[in-house]
Structure 1
Amino acid sequence: MIIVHHINGKITDVITSDNQKIEFDYKKTIASGLHELACQFPDKKIVWCHSAVKEQLDLETIKKLFHHDKMMLSFSSSQHNFFETTIGYVEESLFINVNKKVSYPTWQMSSLVGIIHASILNALRDKIFCDADFDYYLNSVAKLCMPLGLLCYSEPKLLKKGEHRNIPRPSIYDLFRFVKQHYKTRWVFLLLLNLGLYERKFPVLPLLVSFFYKNRKNGAINLDTIKVQSSVNVIDKGTVDVIIPTIGRKDYLYDVLKDFSRQTFLPTKIIIVEQNPQEGSKTELDYIHGEKWPFAIKHIFIHQTGVCNARNLALNNTESEWVFLADDDNRFDTDLIQEVFKNIKKYGNEVATTSYPQKNEVKKYRKVIQWPTFGAGNSFVKRILLDEIRFNDSLEFGYGEDSDFGMQLRNKGYDVLYLPEPEIIHLKAPIGGFRTKPGLLWKNDNIQPKPSPTVMLYIISHNSQEQLKGYKTTLFFKFYKHQNIKNPFRYFKMFQKQWNQSVFWANQLKKTS
C-alpha cells in the first residue's frame, strides 16, 4: 500500500504502509502524481490523504474495507460534498444525497482521504485529463467509471473518529463546467433555470464559459481486464428462502415452482403469500400439497390484498442465511441460484439484483454496477440485514415500494449491486383475478395530485431539496405535451395545484408510515 500525503494541491510526502519513504517528484499535480505512482507500483493500492488528517488515517481498517481491486473509496467529513447540494438540480439519482454515517454508494469523491487500486489508474491513463484541482479530477473519474463497473463509496471508516478538515468548495464556474463535461448539454440550461427559479441567481457567464469545455466520454475506458475477487466472505451456510406474493396467477406460479425444483442449488424453503379478498374463499393452489417438491413450502392464505403487506408477511417467516425476493411471473435457468451466489462471493456484497428483462427485450446494462434502484421481484439479500427493514405500507397500491426498500438497505450501509448474468425473465403476466381497484385517499379530489403521492413520498423521504425542485421543473416540461391545457400560464397554475396536492397527500402518508 502506497500512501500519498498532500496539501494546497501538491504532494508533500509518499510513503509505504510500513512508513518507508519513496522518492518522488513533488512538483507534479496530485492527479498526475498518482498516475506516476501507479505505473511504478502497478500491483499496489494507492491511498491519498490530506496532511491535516494523516494521523487519523486508519490503515488497518482500510485493508479490510478495500476487499477487491475494482473499488474507489473516499470520505469527506463535512456535511456536503465537493459539489454542494446544487448538483441535485441536474441529477435525481440516489448518489447525490449521501448518508455520511455509513458506507454509501456515490460518485462524489473527496481529496480529504481515499483509496484506489493502481490498475484502475493505469486503465485511465490518457483517458481522463489530470485536472490541477484534485477534487474535480476524483469526481470526474468516479462519475465516468461507475457505469463501467468501478464501485465507488463514501466511507467514514477511512478515518478514525475526531475532528476532520473541511474540503474546499468549487466555484460556480466549476459546477457548470462539470455539468457540461459529464451530462447532456441541456442540463447546463436546466441548472441555470433552476438556480433562477429557486435561488434567484442568474450565473449566465459561468454557463457561457462552460461551452469552452468538451464533454468527457467513457467509451475509450476499459475496466473489464481488472479481475475481481473479494477477500470478504459473505456466504457461510449458503441456505436461501424464497418469498413470492401471488394473486390469481395459479398457472404462472406453478411454472415458477417448477423452475425452482430444477435448480442445481435448491432453496431451503419457499414462502408463498396467496391473496384473495373474497371472504370465505379458499386457495386455488392445489398443487402445493398435491405434488412433491424438493423443498419446504410455507403457504400463507390471506384475504387482504397488497404486495407490501404480502412481502412483509413472507419476510417474517424467513429463516435461512439468504432471502430471494421473487415474483409469481418469473422464469429462469436451472443454475440461477448457483450463479448468483458465485457472483456474490466474487464481489463480497450482501445485496444483489439480477437482470430482469421482459421477453425479447434488449439488455441495456452488461456490467456489474451499483444499481440506482432495487428489484422486489429479482433480488437476493442476506437475511440478517432485514431485521429492521420492511416494505413501507404507506406505499401500498402505489409506486416506489421497491426503491424505498433499497434505500432502507443503503441507509444501513449496504449497497445494491446489479448482476447482468444470470438473468430472470419477467413475463409481465396479465393481472390475476380477484383484484379490486384500491380506494386511494385522493381518488375523490377535484384536483388529482401529480405526481402520484407515493412517488412524492419517496422523493421527500430520500432526496435532497434541490433534487425535489429539479424534479418539479423537469416534470413540468414532461407533462406539458401530454395534457389538454396548452396555454402555458393556465397550465402552470393547474400544475402548481396538482403538485401541492401531491405534497399534501405524501405528508399524510408519511404520518402513517
Structure 2
Amino acid sequence: MIIVYHINTKITAVTTLDNQKIEFDYKGTIASSLQELAKQFPEEKILWCHSAIKERLDLEAIKTLFHHDKMMLSFSPQQHTFFDSKIGYVEESLFINVNKNVSYPTWQMSSAVGIIHASVVNQLKNRIACDADFDYYLSSIAKIGMPLGLLCYSEPKLLKPGPLKIIPQSKASVYTLFRFVKQHYKIQWVFLLLFNLVLYERKFTVLPLLLSLFYKDRKNSTINLDSIIVQSSRKVIDTITVDVIIPTIGRSDYLYDVLKDFSLQTLLPKKIIIVEQNPEAGSQSELDYIEIEKWPFKIEHFFIHQAGACNARNLALDQVESEWVFLADDDNRFGPNLIQEIFQNIKKYGTEVVTTSYPQKNESKLHKKIIQWQTFGAGNSLASRNALNKVRFNIALEFGYGEDADFGMQLRNQGHDVLYFPEPEILHLKAPIGGFRTKPELLWQNDCIQPKPSPTVLLYVILHNSKEQLKGYKTILFIKYYKYQNIKNPYRYFKMFQKQWKRSIFWANQLKEAS
C-alpha cells in the first residue's frame, strides 16, 4: 500500500504501509502525482490522506474494508460534500443524499481520505484529466467508473472514531457545478440545472452555463474495467443455507412451476415460506399440491385473508431461520444452477445483498455488468439474514409503488449495499392472473383533485431524497406529464398540476405519519 499525505493542493509525503519514505517529485497536482504513482506501482493500493488527520487513519480497518481491487473508498469528516445539495436538481439517484454514518454507495468522493487500486487509475488515466482540484478529479473517476463496475463508497471506518480537527476542504463553486454536469451528464441537464436554479432559488446563473459548454464531455464508452480481477477477501458465507419467501395470490399454477424450479436446484433451499392471500371471507387455499406432493425442502404455508405483498413478505421474513434469504415472486422461472451461481458471485464480490437480472420474455438486457444497483427487487433478490434483521417492507406503501425501492434504501441506510448481477437471470412471466381480487380502497381515491404523482411514489422521494431532488423530480414530472394529459393550455395545465402536486404532498405526509 502506498500512502499519499497532502495539504489541500500539495503533497507533503509519500510512504509505504510500514512508513518507509518514497522519493517522489511533489511539484505537480495531486491528481497527476496519483497517476505517476499508479504507473510506478501498478499492483499497489494507493491511499490518500490530509496531513491534519493522518493520526486518525485506521490502517488495520482499511485492510478489511478494501477487500477487492475494483473498489474506491473515501470519506469526508465534514458535514458538506464537495458538490453541495444543488447537484440534486439534475440527479435523482440514491447516490446523492449520502448517509455518512454507514458505508454508503456514492460517486461523491473526498480528498480528506480515501483509497483506490493503481490498476483502476491506470485504466482511467487517458480519459480523465488531472484536475487541479483533487476532489473534482476523484469524483470524476467515481462518476465515470460506477456504471463500468467500479464500486464506490463513502466509508466512515477509514478513520478511527472520535472528534476530528476541522480541516479546510474545497467546495465546488456554481461554475464548477455546471462544468461537472456538462462533462458527466447529457447536455440537456445543464439547461435544466439553470432552469431549476432560476425557478427555486432565483439565481440566474447564465454565465456558468455558457462557460461550461466549452468543456469536453468525459464519455465512458471507450473505457473498460473488465480486466481488473475481482476476488474479495471478505468472508460473507458460512453455512450456505437458504430460506425462500414467496407471497402469492390466485396464481397456483404459476407457483407450482416456481416450486418445481426450486426443487431442481443444484443447491437446494432449506425451507420455502409461502404466504397465500385471499381476502374473501370463507375462502380456502388453492395450494393442495404442497401436501400431496413430496418436496426436497420444508414448506411453511400460511393462508391469510389480508391482501397485500408488503404484509405477506413481512410475515414471511419473521419466519426465516437460514443464513440467507431468497425473496422470490410466484411467477418466476429459472434454471437449476441459479442459487449456486449467485453464491459464486457473492463469494467473489464479498457482498451481502444482490438483485439479479429480471427480464420479461423477449426483453433485452440493459445492464451487462455487475454494478451498484439503484433499486431493489423484492421478487429476485438474495440477502443475508443479518442484513435483513432491522428492515421490513413499509406498510404505508401497500397497494402502491415503491415498496421495493424503499426496502433497498432501508438496507443501504444500515450499511448494506445492493449489487446487481446480470447473470444468472430470472425470467419474470408477469402472469396475467392473480393480483388483487378486491380493489383496495386508497385514502385519496375519492379526492376531488386526484394527486399527481401517486402519493406512495412521492412518499419514497420524501423519505430518501434531498429537497433539491424533490424539486428536480417535480420539474421533470411537470415536463413529461404534459403530453399525457388533456389540458393543453400551458397556464391552465400549470395551475392544475400545482393543485395535484399539493394533494400528493398532503397524502404522502398522511402515509408517512401513519407508517
TM-score range, shorter chain: over 0.9
Question: Residue 288 of structure 1 corresponds to which residue in structure 2?
Answer: 290
Indicate if the aligned counterparts of 1:278 and 1:434 stay in contact, CA closer than 8 A. no
Indicate if the aligned counterparts of 1:241 and 1:268 stay in contact, CA closer than 8 A. yes
Amino acid at match of 2:164: E
Cα shift readout 1:314-350 (whole Å, capped 9, x = no counterpart): 1111100000000000000100000000100000000
Amino acid at match of 1:130: C
| Aligned pairs, number | 513
Q: Distance in 2 between matches of 1:434 and 1:491?
A: 33
Amino acid at match of 1:163: L
Q: Distance in 1 between matches of 2:423 and 2:260?
A: 21
Question: Residue 402 of structure 1 corresponds to which residue in structure 2?
Answer: 404
Does 2:151 correspond to 1:151? yes
Question: Residue 263 of structure 1 corresponds to which residue in structure 2?
Answer: 265
Question: Residue 344 of structure 2 corresponds to which residue in structure 1?
Answer: 342
Q: Distance in 1 between matches of 2:371 and 2:8?
A: 34
Cα shift readout 1:463-487 (whole Å, capped 9, x = no counterpart): 0000000000111001111111111
Question: Residue 215 of structure 1 corresponds to which residue in structure 2?
Answer: 217
TM superposition shift of 1:166? 4.8
| SS of residue matched to 2:484 | coil
Amino acid at match of 1:392: N
Amino acid at match of 1:336: L
Q: Distance in 2 between matches of 1:421 and 1:130?
A: 36
Question: Residue 136 of structure 2 corresponds to which residue in structure 1?
Answer: 136
Identity over aligned residues, as a percent? 75
Per the normalisation by structure 1, the TM-score is 0.99
Query: What are the equivalent positions in structure 2 for 1:313-328 lying under 5 Å apart?
Result: 313-328=315-330
Q: Distance in 2 between matches of 1:426 and 1:167?
A: 48
Indicate if the aligned counterparts of 2:307 and 2:436 stay in contact, CA closer than 8 A. no
Does 2:52 correspond to 1:62? no
Does 2:364 correspond to 1:354? no
| SS of residue matched to 1:342 | helix
TM superposition shift of 1:80? 2.1
Cα shift readout 1:29-79 (whole Å, capped 9, x = no counterpart): 111111111111111110001111111111111111000000000001222
Query: What are the equivalent positions in structure 2 for 1:120-131 lying under 5 Å apart?
Result: 120-131=120-131
TM superposition shift of 1:125? 2.4
TM superposition shift of 1:280? 1.0
Q: Which runs of 5+ in 2 are unaligned?
A: none
Quick one: structure 1 residues 434 and 221, their matched pair in 2 at CA, closer, same or farther if it must change by over 3 Å?
closer
Amino acid at match of 2:492: R
Quick one: structure 1 residues 24 and 300, their matched pair in 2 at CA, closer, same or farther if it must change by over 3 Å?
same
Cα shift readout 1:247-302 (whole Å, capped 9, x = no counterpart): 00011000000000000000000000000111111101111001000000000000
Q: Which runs of 5+ in 1 are unaligned?
A: none
**RMSD after superposition:** 0.9
TM superposition shift of 1:8? 3.2
TM superposition shift of 1:167? 2.2
Query: What are the equivalent positions in structure 2 for 1:84-483 lying under 5 Å apart?
Result: 84-161=84-161, 162-164=163-165, 165-432=167-434, 435-483=437-485
TM superposition shift of 1:219? 1.2
TM superposition shift of 1:431? 3.2
| SS of residue matched to 1:346 | helix
Amino acid at match of 2:106: T
Q: Distance in 1 between matches of 2:168 and 2:245?
A: 46
Question: Residue 28 of structure 1 corresponds to which residue in structure 2?
Answer: 28
Cα shift readout 1:411-455 (whole Å, capped 9, x = no counterpart): 000000000100000001113176111100000001000000001
Amino acid at match of 1:19: N
| SS of residue matched to 1:5 | strand
Amino acid at match of 1:289: E
Indicate if the aligned counterparts of 1:96 and 1:108 stay in contact, CA closer than 8 A. yes
Q: Which moved more, 1:407-416 or 1:127-136?
A: 127-136
Q: Distance in 1 between matches of 2:436 and 2:447?
A: 27
| SS of residue matched to 1:399 | coil
Indicate if the aligned counterparts of 2:353 and 2:387 stay in contact, CA closer than 8 A. no
Q: Distance in 2 between matches of 1:492 and 1:278?
A: 43
| SS of residue matched to 2:290 | helix
